[in-house]
Amino acid sequence: MKTIQTQEEKFRMMTEDPIPGLVGKLAIPTIISMLITSIYNMADTFFVGQIGTSATAAVGIVFPLMSIIQALGFFFGHGSGNSMSRKLGEQDTQEASFLASAGFFLALLTGLCITCLGLIFINPLANLLGATPTSIAYVKAYLRIILLGAPWMTASLVLNNQLRFQGSAFFAMIGIGTGGILNMILDPVLIFVFDLGISGAAIATIFSQFVSFCLLLMGTRRGGNIRIKLSCFRISGERLATIAGGGLPSLFRQGLGSISVIALNLAARPYMDAAIAAMSIVSRISFFAASALIGFGQGFQPVCGFNYGAKKYERVREAFWFSMKIAVVILSILAVAGLVFAEPLITVFRKDDADVIRIGTLALRLQCITLPLQSWIILNNMMLQTIGKTFKASLLAMSRQGLFFIPAILILPLIFGLFGIQLSQPVADVASFILALPLGIETLNEMKQTTP
């Protein structure tokens, strides 16, 4: 696939090329990006794990704040990106330009607000996130630096999603992938060679994210991509409503994900740093397993948006079912691998802490059992959000980490103790699948009935 295309060439490609090859071409760069991202998330946990259990716990404790930053980036990125893809499908390039600039500059300003407020209230923020007496020093050291990078971390997610939704997954991959690889290189250098400890891991993260931000911004100026211009930053009630409608599912999903991690850390706090560290490691490994599906789904999204905008609903259905078949196979293979190799995987991160290994091994195996169900949950959520079904998409986005996980993590530990903590995510996954089943079937049937 050519990496530089005019907007007319992109439109023809999205609405005319055979679905399997088209989704595959768009999915490969996004899968690579997601795998690199998840690998460098695990690299952070691995290298910090060499410092000690309390430091590993601190990374897990700060993770919800990073998820909030990501939630806002995805809110503006998906909100502007999926509406851009529909406008490009309608061949309304001017409105797509206005949406792109609005999403970018609003995200940049929001990130700056997070930096200022977070640094002012760093002590109560650390406690709110679930810091323990033995980890709070590590938490504050890591948190203080991460907050500085919030503006470009938020804005880079917007650029990444906007490029993907335009069918320019290659440029998005270059930006995200380069930052991820750089992060993995800088982690051991700053942590051990320069003896910066956990602060070195945070510096590596925000510097790498800044490099990604610069490369993604350059990518918007290549070929037929929509360029970010201050002159196109025109806010209107209708435009804000469009971005909010498209981004709310992402905000709910990521935002509730942050709250769920805080709830998890608080539930695990009575079992001390070993439980928090173990669940943090399991979260990283589970995200790696799901990243292949998310990457493949991100290849499906621009195809979905362009063709829905062009009223080619049968192509949307074809792309969905093709993606679903691939997703089920991938996640089933990864689930079996996780069940078999759970203990060695946890041991890689904390080989000298038997409690972390014991807690993490069971938790990972339980999550692997329900891993294939995420195929239906995630792909339906992506489809509903991309075609503008805000209520259904938001409901499904809130389910896994919010509507079902938060009650589970509050109730199950009271009944089963530590096992209840390990069991909470699989229970939430089953409940989310049951909710997603009728939502997806109904929407697919609607498109079948309205196909011209």
Tens-digit pLDDT profile for residues 291-316? 778 888 888 989 998 899 889 999 99
Q: Tell me: the pLDDT tens digits for 180-225?
A: 899 989 999 999 999 998 999 999 999 999 999 999 999 998 877 8
Position 37 scores a pLDDT of: 73
Position 170 scores a pLDDT of: 87
Considering only residues 358 and 272, tell me which one the structure prediction assigns the higher pLDDT.
358
Residue 339: CB partners within 8 Å, gap ≥ 6? 365, 368, 369
- Asked if residue 359 lies in contact with residue 279, where contact means CB atoms within 8 angstroms, the answer is yes
State both tokens at 106: 């609003």
Return the minimum-mean-pLDDT range out of 103-112, 163-172, 198-207, 245-254: 245-254
How far does the chain reach from its first CA to its final CA, in angstroms?
Answer: 30
Is the per-residue pLDDT at 1 higher than 50? no
Q: Tell me: the pLDDT tens digits for 11-26?
A: 888 889 999 999 988 8
Q: Tell me: the pLDDT tens digits for 415-425?
A: 999 999 999 99
To the nearest 10°, report the CA torsion of 38, 301, 322, 434. 80
Q: Tell me: the pLDDT tens digits for 23-81?
A: 988 888 888 887 777 776 677 777 887 887 788 778 878 888 888 898 899 899 989 99
Which of left, alpha, beta for 236 (phi over 0: left; psi -120 to 50: alpha)?
A: beta
pLDDT bracket for residue 350 (50, 70, 90): confident
Proportion of the chain above pLDDT 70, given as a percent: 98
Residue 196: CB partners within 8 Å, gap ≥ 6? 190, 203
- Asked if residue 185 lies in contact with residue 40, where contact means CB atoms within 8 angstroms, the answer is no
Is the per-residue pLDDT at 91 higher than 90? no
205-208 CB contacts, 8 Å cutoff, 24+ apart = 205/44, 205/145, 205/146, 205/149, 206/145, 206/146, 206/148, 206/149, 206/152, 206/153, 207/182, 208/40, 208/179, 208/180, 208/182, 208/183
- Asked if residue 19 lies in contact with residue 315, where contact means CB atoms within 8 angstroms, the answer is yes
Q: How far apart are CA 377 and CA 206, in angstroms?
A: 31
Farthest CA pair distance, the chain: 64
Q: Tell me: the pLDDT tens digits for 221-263?
A: 887 789 999 889 988 888 999 999 888 888 888 778 778 888 8
Residue 216: CB partners within 8 Å, gap ≥ 6? 156, 159, 160, 163, 171, 172, 175, 176
Q: How far apart are CA 36 and CA 42, in angstroms?
A: 10
Considering only residues 117 and 278, tell me which one the structure prediction assigns the higher pLDDT.
117
Shortest CA distance to 45 belongs to which of 28, 62, 23?
62
Q: What is the mean pLDDT of residues 143-171?
A: 93
Is 272 exposed, middle or buried (CB count within 10 Å of its CB: 0-12, 13-18, 19+)? middle
Is the per-residue pLDDT at 335 higher than 70? yes
pTM confidence score: 0.76
State both tokens at 425: 């995510």
Q: How far apart are CA 316 and CA 39, in angstroms?
A: 31
Q: Tell me: the pLDDT tens digits for 268-294?
A: 888 877 888 888 888 878 878 887 788
Q: What is the mean pLDDT of residues 148-162?
A: 95
Is the per-residue pLDDT at 363 higher than 90? yes
Cα 425 to chain centroid distance, Å, stands at: 17
Position 294 scores a pLDDT of: 83
Is the per-residue pLDDT at 436 higher than 50? yes
